[in-house]
Amino acid sequence: MHQFFDCGNAGEPAYRKVATGHPGWLKVASRLLESADGCYSTGVHSAVASALAVSPRTVLPLVNSSHSLSADQICLPFMSAEVPAEKHLAYLVKLEQALNSVKNSSYSSSKRACLAEVHRARASLK
């Protein structure tokens, strides 16, 4: 795993694959998070969260499915203070639209949890 997910730039291709929301890569990410240290977990959490905006139906089943996949860890990617607030707000709008496109009631609890994270983030950026 360390060859694919490292703390430097060498791990970027693997993180980008997780961010696609492909079920196989999400499975790898969830297994990695079971024993990941801080170095890996931040990047993997952020990649899973990025996948939520492009593939909410594959990520929502993971939300709150374990301690390492809690809503506060995987509903929002890392948001750098160096990025303008407008860019973050635009992303949050896209994420909220993606979440609201999911109508399957079996995901309603996960969807509500992620929408709550989106609303908290939006309030903190204003």
Predicted local distance difference test score (pLDDT) of residue 43: 86
Predicted local distance difference test score (pLDDT) of residue 13: 79
Predicted local distance difference test score (pLDDT) of residue 52: 97
DSSP state of 75: S
Q: Could you tell me which of 12, 35, 27 has the C-alpha nearest to residue 59?
A: 27
CA–CA dist 9, 72 (Å, integer): 25
Give the pTM.
0.88
Predicted local distance difference test score (pLDDT) of residue 58: 97
CB 71 within 8 A of CB 111: no
CB 53 within 8 A of CB 61: no
Predicted local distance difference test score (pLDDT) of residue 32: 86
Give the chain's residues under pLDDT 70: 1-11, 36-37
CA–CA dist 49, 126 (Å, integer): 21
Predicted local distance difference test score (pLDDT) of residue 41: 84
